[in-house]
Chains A and B, each alone.
Chain A
C-alpha cells in the first residue's frame, strides 16, 4: 500500500496533523504512522520512487544495504521518543520531534543530491523547535546559532551540489571524488553536521539547551545522518581517519570538566562520532561495517543516556553535577538503565558498544594504522571516564545532596527499559546486528584474548578512578562555563566586529568633520572674495558651496577611477 509513498514523507505529513489531535490520541496516531513508515524497511532494495521534472530525476526512495540499518535504527529511535514523551502535553514538541525523525528518514532514502538537500534542510527547520520549546533566553539564542550553523551546512551542500552537477553532469548521491571542488563543499557540509573538530561548537551549544524530550530526539538523527552521508560518499577518504581520531580524543578532556551532564553527553556524542568517522575513513568492508554498527548501537545507548539524564532533569529540575547526587534511592530503575547505557558506551563485554567498536578497531589494525589504534584505545578510556563513570556517579551516587524526588513517569521508564534491553540483546547476540550490516561479517567478537584485554583496560581504568576519589585527587565539579569552539563566533568574532564598527565610526566622524571644515573654509574664502551687489541678491549661500563641493568631489573621483 505504502509502496508509492516515500518513508520519511509519510511521517512528515502525518506529523502535520499532530497539532489538531487531542492529547489522548496523539501518541497512538504517531505510533500508527510510524508503523506504516516502518513497512518501508521490508521493501526490496532498489530505486522505488522517481519524480522527473525539467530533465532532472528526484529520487525520493532508494534503499540498499547501507540505508537499511540506518532506517531500522531511525525508526527505533522515533519509537523510543514517542514513548519517552508520553507524559508531555506540548503538541509543539511532539510535532517537531516526529517530523524531524521523518525528515531524517527521508534524507536517508534520497537517491540524488538535490533530494538529499531538500530533506537535509527539513531536518533543521523541524528540529529547531525542540530547542526553542525550552523557552529560556539561553535556548532561544542557542536555537538561532543552531539555525545559523545548520543552514551554513545546507548552503555548502547546495553550492557543492550545483558545482558538482555542472562539472560531472551526475547528480546521484553516491561515491564522490574530492578531485572535484564541489565535492569539498559537500564534504564540509557533511562535516558540520558530523561535528568535525572546529565545526563542532553547535552541538555542545544547542543540544543541552533543548527540552527534556528534545535532546533525546536531537541526539539520534542529525549527526548520524551525516555519518550515513559520509559513509555513502566519502568511504575510504584518508583525511577522515585523522579528523576522526581528533574527534575521539579532544572532547574527552572537555567532558571531564563540564558540569552540565547533558553537555557532558554532547561531548561524548562527539567522541563517539569520531570512532565512526575513523571507520569510514579506513573504508574497508569491516571498518565500514564497524562504523555502521557503531552508529546503530550508539543511537540506542546514547538515547538511553540522554533519556536517563532527561528523567533526572524532569524530576529534579537541574542537571548540573555540582547540584546532584544520591538519586539512586528515588530513581532506581532510571539508575539501572543509565548504568546499562554507560556500560554499553564504555564497551564492556556483553554490552552493545563492545560488539560495534571491535569491528572498527580491527579494521584500523588490519589497515596498519597502529598509532591510530592506540589513540582509539586511549579515547576508549576517555569514554569510560565521562560517560561510563561520571554520568551515573554524579547523578545517582556521589555525595547525597538531600534531594527528595520520585521515579520517572511510566512512559519514560518504558522507553529506557526497551533501550536498555536492546543494548543487552545486541551485546549477547551480536549476530542480530551483524546480519543487518552492509557487508558480510566474518568476525568473532567473544574470544578470551579480546574479552580479557578489554576488561583489563576498563577495570584498571575504574581502579584509577577509585584511586583518585579515595585520595581526593578527582577534581570537584564546579558551576562554570567551559569554552568550546563556538567561542570563536560567540565572543571572538563578535568582539572583532564590535571593534570594527567603533573604528569605522571614528573614521567616519573624523572624515565628515574634516569635510565640513574644508567646506567652511571654502565658504569663508568665497564670501571674502565675492562681489556684493547693492541689494545683496547674488550672495553665495552655503548650499551652493556644498553642491559645488560635491560635484567637484565626483569629478575628482571620476578622474581617478576611469
Chain B
C-alpha cells in the first residue's frame, strides 16, 4: 500500500522533472545563454555535461565497489 504511494509520488516527480527539462529546452533558445567559459556556450552543454557526469559517477562508484568494498565487520576482526 505504502510502496504504491511511493510509486505514485515517483511518477509525479518524474513528470515534473520532464516538464522542467522541456521548459529548459525552450529557455535555451529564448534566452541565448552564455556560460562562464566558451565551451559552456555550446547548445545544451550544461545539460549534457550534467547527465553524463551523473551516470559516469554512479558507474565509476560501482567499479570502485570491486576495489574498496569489504564486509561490514571488516575492521572488527
A interface residue numbers (CB < 8 A to B)? 137-138, 252-254, 256-257, 326, 329, 361-362, 365, 370, 373-374, 377-378, 381-382, 384-385, 397-400, 402, 448-449, 452-470, 473-475, 478-484, 490-491
Residue total for B at the interface (Cβ-Cβ under 8 A)? 51
Interface string of B37-77 (1 = CB under 8 A from A): 10110001011111111110110111011011111111110
Partner of B57, one of A253, A374, A399: A253
Partner of B49, one of A256, A377, A482: A377
Partner of B36, one of A137, A373, A469, A484: A373
- 4 A-B pairs with the lowest CB-CB distances in the bound complex, closest first: A256-B61, A381-B53, A457-B50, A464-B54
Tell me, in angstroms, the Cα distance from A138 to B31 when the chains sit together: 55
Q: How many A-B residue pairs have CB under 8 A?
A: 162
Q: Is B21 touching A463 in the complex (CB atoms < 8 A)?
A: yes
Tell me, in angstroms, the Cα distance from A257 to B68 when the chains sit together: 10
Q: What are 14 A-B contacts with C-beta separation under 8 Å?
A: A256-B62, A370-B37, A381-B49, A402-B2, A453-B40, A455-B20, A456-B50, A460-B50, A461-B50, A463-B18, A473-B58, A478-B69, A480-B69, A481-B73
| Given the contacts A326-B6, A362-B36, A459 and B64 also touching, CB distance less than 8 Å | no
Report A445 CB to chain B, min CB distance, Å.
13
Report A125 CB to chain B, min CB distance, Å.
25
Q: Is A480 touching B70 in the complex (CB atoms < 8 A)?
A: yes
Tell me, in angstroms, the Cα distance from A456 to B59 when the chains sit together: 21
Partner of B61, one of A253, A398, A400: A253
Q: Is B69 touching A460 in the complex (CB atoms < 8 A)?
A: no
Query: Chain B contacts of A400 at CB under 8 A?
Result: 2-3, 6
| Given the contacts A370-B37, A452-B31, A459-B20, A481 and B57 also touching, CB distance less than 8 Å | no
Query: Chain A contacts of B50 at CB under 8 A?
Result: 381, 384, 456-461, 464
Tell me, in angstroms, the Cα distance from A423 to B48 when the chains sit together: 28
Q: Is A449 touching B34 in the complex (CB atoms < 8 A)?
A: yes
Query: Chain B contacts of A481 at CB under 8 A?
Result: 69-75
Tell me, in angstroms, the Cα distance from A475 to B58 when the chains sit together: 8
With both beta carbons as reference points, the residue of chain A lying nearest to B18 in the complex is identified as: A463
Partner of A483, one of B33, B35, B70: B70
Report B43 CB to chain A, min CB distance, Å.
11
Q: Is A468 touching B55 in the complex (CB atoms < 8 A)?
A: yes
Partner of B46, one of A256, A454, A469: A454
